[in-house]
Structures are given as structure tokens and as C-alpha cells.
Structure 1
Amino acid sequence: MKTTKILFWVTTTIIFLFEGVLPATTSQTELAKEGIKHLGYPEYFGNVLVIFKILGVLVLMIPKVPSRIKEWAYAGFAFDFIFASISHGFVDGINFQTFFPILFLGILIVSYINYHKMKNTTIN
């Protein structure tokens, strides 16, 4: 159980930093705005995406949030990582940027698996 909690909190904290703190602090920079434009998305899309990312990481980090809502947050981040990879692949070709979101999808999956392990042991 201790290893499960450690894995959950480490991976969830990585997602929190990468998907919550980083976008919240850098979303209004010219580099971030140009990155959204480069992929063919309108500027408002980046702003909406940041809002949903911040809400999503809060849902994952706050223990008292109902599990059904956490499931939606996990699904949203999974879609985010998959579509980020697809967007970079189509626009820039196959390169590091194409696979970088898949790395974080793997981290998210570890968080998800350990969340359910912790949830199931508290129920039983």
C-alpha cells in the first residue's frame, strides 16, 4: 500500500506540475501563443485549454473530489495527450514533440492505476 501511495502521489504531482502549474504560468507568453497558432488552433483555444487543465489537476490532487469526477479528469488528460501527439505529428512530422505527450500519457496511466489500487483497498 505504501508503494502504491508513493507512485500515485509522485506521478500525480508530475501531472500537476506539467499540466497545471506550467500552463498557468506560461500560457500568456508569446512562445505559448505562437505554439498554439503553429498547430493551427485559434488563440482562444489555448486559453480554454489552460482553464480546463488547471481544473483537471485540481480535481486529481484534491482527495475529497468524487471518483466519478476524477475519472472525467483522467479521461480529459488522456485525450489531451493523445491529440497533442497527433497534432504535432501532422504539423511537424514525426519527431520528439510527437512522442513527448505520450511519455506523459504513460505517467498519467501509472497515476490512474495506482489511484484505483488505493481506492479499492480503502473500500475493502
Structure 2
Amino acid sequence: MKKDKTIYWVATGILTGVMLWSAFNFAFNPEMKNAFAHLGLPNWFRIELTTAKLLGSLALLLPFVPAKIKDFAYAGFTITLVSATVAHLSSGDSVLLEIGHLTFLASLVVSYLYYHKINRVLT
């Protein structure tokens, strides 16, 4: 059980760390406006994505958040990572950039599976 919790928290820490860093970068890095324009995305979406990443990270990190809300956060992050891959590849960015997205997607899957494994044991 302790090993499962450690795996869960490491994977969740990687996932939420990346999402929080990304949200911070989207919010405070002026170059992000150009990056979103390069991907063909409007500036308002940068703000919306920043907010969603902050809320999703809080949902996964706070223990009192209901399981259904956590599941929505996992789904939202999955959509975000898959959409980022599509956006970057569609705009002609390097395939090597997708190594990061796939790594974070793997962390998301591990976090999700271990979250449910831990909670199935506890209930």
C-alpha cells in the first residue's frame, strides 16, 4: 500500500508540477501570446487554459475533492495533452517536442490508475 501511494504521489506531482508551471508560464510570459498565435489559437484561450490548469491541479492535489471532480480533472488534462500534441504537429513543430507531452501523458495515466487502485483498496 505504501509503494502504491508513493507511485501515485510521484506521478501526480510530476503531472501537477508541469500543469502549474505551464499555467504560470501562460499567465506571466509575454511570449506566450505569440506562441498561441503560432498554434492558431486565440489569446482568450490562453487565459482559459491557464485557469483550467490551475483548477485541475488543485482538484488532484487536495484530498477532500470528490472523486468525480478528480476524474473530470484527469479527463481535462488528457484532452489538453492530446490537443497540445495535435496543435504542435499541425503547426509544423518538431516531433521531438512531443516526447514531453507523451511523458506527461504517461504520468497522468499512472496517477489515474494508482488513484483508483488506492481508493478501491480503501473503500
Normalising by the residue count of structure 1, what TM-score does the alignment of the two structures yield?
0.92
Shift of 1:23: 2.7
Kept in 2, the 8 Å contact 1:86–1:98? The answer is: no
CA distance in 2, matches of 1:97, 1:118: 32
CA–CA separation in structure 1 for the residues paired with 2:89 and 2:23:
25
Q: Is the 8 A contact 1:78 1:105 kept in 2?
A: yes
Partner of 1:15: 15
The answer for the alignment partner of 1:25 in structure 2 is 24
Note the C-alpha offset of 1:30.
2.2
Alpha-carbon offset, residue 95 of structure 1 = 1.5
Q: How many angstroms does 1:94 deviate by?
A: 4.9
Amino acid of the residue matched to residue 43 of structure 2? E
**CA-based RMSD:** 1.2
Percent identity over paired residues: 34
Range moving further from structure 2, 90-99 or 72-81: 90-99
Higher RCO structure, 1 or 2 (CA under 8 Å, sep 6+)? 2
Partner secondary structure for residue 92 of structure 1: coil
TM (norm. structure 2) is 0.93
Task: Please name the residue that 1:82 is paired with.
Answer: 82
Could you list the runs of 5+ residues in structure 2 that have no partner in the other structure? Answer: none
Is the CA contact (8 Å cut-off) linking 1:59 and 1:70 kept in structure 2? yes
Aligned partners of 1:85 and 1:100 also within 8 Å: no
Cα distance, 1:101 vs structure 2: 1.2
In the alignment of these two chains, the number of paired residues is 122
Unaligned runs of 5+ in 1: none
